[in-house]
Amino acid sequence: MASACLFDDEAMQRFIVEGYVKLKSNLPRDFHARMFDALETLDEGGPHGHNNLLPCVPELRVLLDEPVVAGALTSILGPDYYLHFHRHDHVNFPDSAQPLHKDGDNHTHYAIDGLRRHHVTRYAMLLYYPQDTPMASGPTGIVPRSQYIPRRHLEALRQEHHYHIRKIREELKHEFGEPIDDPAGQRVMRQRYETKEQELRQAHPTLFDAMRQAEVPWESQKIPLVGDAGTVSIVHFDIVHGRFSANTSGRPRHMVKFLFTRNEEPREPSWNHSGTSWQIEPEAPEAPAWEYVWNWHKGTPAASGGIALTDSTNNVRSDDDRLALGAAYTLGAQRKSLATLDALFFGDDVGLRTMAAYGLSRAGATALPMLLDQLGTADASLAIRIIDVLGDIGPRAISAAETLVGFANHAEPAVRRYALESLGLVISHNATIDETFLDALSAALVDEDAITRRNATFAIARLGERANHPEIVGHVTNNLDHWHHHVRGWSIEALLRLEDPQATKAALSYLSAARWDETPKSGDRQPTESTLRQSNSD
């Protein structure tokens, strides 16, 4: 893959810290004008758009394959990255500012307790503007350095809010049933929902006030991603973001979002590495987390850093997310501190055990004996938390693979989900794959739980030709017709990576039949004169 614009050490470290990089496409302005015109005809949330974006506007592929884009993605996700099946054109007109948020984790890794996301860069998003996007156009806003911060206080308030919202939805479901097909019924239900939401605000003013107060610091730190047509921003999947402001330009603003996936844990730097050590703000509270991610990207996650924080044992209990995070990573680098992390991880405080989990992921192989010992007697809830850490540790947890295979057949679907995902993360590029492991993957491909099938397919895509087995090829092929689009999406990737003639044939047959041609049957349509004038004037 072309990679003419690979990062240097400074650019890579800056991405790790800030969580984003802005690039400029080298394609001419008339290309971006064509993309704008093509996107204008689509439906943001409907079948003519959203995950069908590329079949509807296939020329977008030219942008994704540009050396400046491919080089940056290679630096961040490694040379074997691939385009995830989720994509979305966010249209903003006239609209208003959007609440800040992290994207839903259903397309990547389901966060433990709705809070603990993996820090290392296994997913990244690309954001593309096909039109000039100054402040008046309502650009996307991001909060730099927010990607590793769990925002424990705010998320706890939001979970309390979501609890009440779920109750309202359950009441309406009981009252109206579902689905409601007629517009009049839908309108009545929306009105009832709005009424109940107002009643909720009146009943819990303290909760809503606390949520507003907790959002203030994040709002104060956001910056707008303004730029000319052809501006491309690549961001860590977990960065806090939202529409910065209203679009007052009088013209729609498109922001096309693509999700990309790393296929293999790093073995060596995938950018122009010159041997630089960690340089950026080594005394910052969260610097130990940054340096760990830097070493992970270099393929040396167990490397010891030169960063040390005093009072880490106390700081890990701090309410300050950044201070606690840095302390957790510092404790994870010291064998003598594992007892502290152990006590917090197996405690009842969700916030503290979230931080402790990051420290245990940093500890890697050192933490395995304790984690595996507890896993042997764990209930489903605890097993999920332990298995999640094992997966985050990655290939350093290869000795846990046999145990994870056993949990891939657990009675609880949620346990099976995490066990299979973690298997895909801990199996290194040179690990031996035996029949027991392949049997577990094969059985999961026919599991009644869709996410279990999805995660098994994710693992198979990572393993590639090492998972090539006739039964697996057959099951993955059959899953191309599964009802869940995640299963179908990763099945295509798995088939293409198995390096098997039957698998490749199945993938191409499916893609050929599923191909979307937007041209009406009456024939192709030439560009209109108005379209050409618009392209030339831009």
Residues 116 and 245 in one domain: yes
- Does a structural domain hold residue 312? yes
- Does a structural domain hold residue 335? yes
Rounded to the nearest angstrom, the gap between the alpha carbon of residue 381 and the centroid of all alpha carbons in its chain is 23
- Does a structural domain hold residue 534? no
Q: Which CATH number covers residue 456?
A: 1.25.10.10
Residues 135 and 186 in one domain: no
Residues 131 and 244 in one domain: yes
Q: How far is CA 148 from CA 98, 321, 334, 356, 407, in A?
A: 21, 9, 21, 14, 29
- Does a structural domain hold residue 82? yes
Structural Rg of the chain based on CA atoms: 24
pLDDT at residue 523, rounded to an integer = 63
Residues 237 and 88 in one domain: yes
Ramachandran assignment for 116, one of left (phi > 0), alpha (psi -120 to 50 degrees), beta (any other): beta
Residues 27 and 116 in one domain: yes
- Does a structural domain hold residue 64? yes
Residue 181: give the domain boundaries: 153-217
- Does a structural domain hold residue 275? no
pLDDT at residue 527, rounded to an integer = 61
pLDDT at residue 538, rounded to an integer = 47
Q: Tell me the residue type at 508.
A: L
**Residues 6 or more apart whose Cβ sits within 8 Å of residue 30:** 535, 536, 538
> Which residue has tokens 């933490």?
367
Angstrom distance (rounded) from CA 205 to CA 6: 51
How many domains are contained in the chain? 4
Q: Which of 217, 250, 271 marks a domain boundary?
A: 217
Q: Beta-carbon neighbour count of residue 482 at 10 Å?
A: 16
Residues 83 and 14 in one domain: yes
Ramachandran assignment for 433, one of left (phi > 0), alpha (psi -120 to 50 degrees), beta (any other): beta
User: 249 — phi, psi (to 5°)?
Assistant: -80, -15
> Which residue has tokens 């940054």?
290
Residues 13 and 95 in one domain: yes
Q: Which CATH number covers residue 340?
A: 1.25.10
Residues forming a β-bridge with 243: 140
Q: How far is CA 467 from CA 428, 460, 479, 499, 504, in A?
A: 13, 6, 16, 10, 14
Q: Both tokens of residue 397? A: 């947890």
Q: Both tokens of residue 415? A: 């346990």
Residues 172 and 94 in one domain: no
- Does a structural domain hold residue 350? yes
Q: Which CATH number covers residue 68?
A: 2.60.120.620
Residues 420 and 353 in one domain: no
- Residue 246 burial (C-beta neighbours within 10 Å; 0-12, 13-18, 19+): middle
**468: three-class secondary structure by DSSP:** coil
Residues 360 and 384 in one domain: no
Residues 395 and 367 in one domain: no
Q: Which of 217, 234, 252 marks a domain boundary?
A: 217
Q: Beta-carbon neighbour count of residue 423 at 10 Å?
A: 29
Angstrom distance (rounded) from CA 105 to CA 117: 8
DSSP per-residue codes, 389-408 = HHHHHGGGGGGGHHHHHHHT
Query: In terms of DSSP bridges, do strands 223-224 and 231-236 run parallel, antiparallel, or are they unpaired?
Result: unpaired
Residues 291 and 242 in one domain: no
**Residues 6 or more apart whose Cβ sits within 8 Å of residue 419:** 387, 404, 405, 407, 408, 410
Tens of each residue's pLDDT in the chain, 538 residues? 345 679 999 999 999 999 999 999 999 999 999 999 999 998 877 777 888 899 889 999 999 999 999 999 999 999 999 999 999 999 988 888 888 999 989 989 999 999 999 999 999 999 999 999 999 999 999 999 999 999 999 999 999 999 999 999 999 888 888 766 778 888 888 899 999 999 999 999 999 999 999 999 999 999 999 999 999 999 999 999 999 999 999 999 999 999 999 999 999 999 999 999 999 999 999 999 999 999 999 999 988 765 566 689 999 999 999 999 999 999 999 988 999 999 999 999 999 999 999 999 999 999 999 999 999 999 999 999 999 999 999 999 999 999 999 999 999 999 999 999 999 999 977 888 889 999 999 999 999 999 999 999 999 999 999 999 999 999 999 999 999 999 999 999 999 999 999 999 999 999 988 877 766 666 666 665 555 444 454 4
- Does a structural domain hold residue 538? no
pTM equals 0.92
